[in-house]
């Protein structure tokens, strides 16, 4: 479990450091970039909650053993961390510097 958290944390750091690449932000304004990041983060958190909470609520209505609020939070958070692997794989597939090609075949 700790190895998974370490790996996913490393992927998040990698993606975060790449997002700070000055060449990618040359034409962007600071206020626009920060507001975009804030809105995207909020939408990410809300969309994950909108998918997890109704499903677990439905499960709690029908099951004899209930999922606690703490467990719901853990399920919500672990889904957010699992997305890091998908983002990193997609990023490495479409990045020109990594693949060495202008287009992906």
Taking only the tens of pLDDT, the chain with its 105 residues reads 677 777 777 777 777 676 667 777 777 787 887 888 788 888 888 888 898 899 999 999 999 999 999 988 888 887 766 666 666 666 666 665 555 554 444
Q: What is the pLDDT of residue 47?
A: 87
The answer to whether 101 touches 82, Cβ cutoff 8 Å, is: no
Instruction: Bin 19: left if φ > 0, else alpha if -120 < ψ < 50, else beta.
Output: alpha
Cα–Cα dist 54/60, whole Å? 10
pTM of the model: 0.53
- Calculate the CA dihedral of residues 46, 51, 57, 61 and round it to 10 degrees: 160
């Amino acid at each position: 479990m700790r190895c998974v958290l370490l790996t996913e944390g490393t992927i998040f750091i990698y993606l975060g450091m790449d997002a700070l690449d000055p060449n990618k932000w040359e034409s962007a304004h600071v206020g626009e970039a920060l507001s975009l990041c804030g809105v995207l983060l909020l939408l990410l958190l809300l969309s994950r909650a909108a998918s997890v909470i109704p499903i677990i609520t439905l499960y709690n209505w029908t099951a004899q053993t209930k999922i606690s609020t703490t467990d719901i939070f853990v399920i919500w958070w672990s889904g957010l961390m699992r997305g890091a692997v998908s983002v990193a794989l997609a990023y490495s597939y479409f990045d020109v510097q990594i693949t060495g090609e202008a287009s992906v075949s």
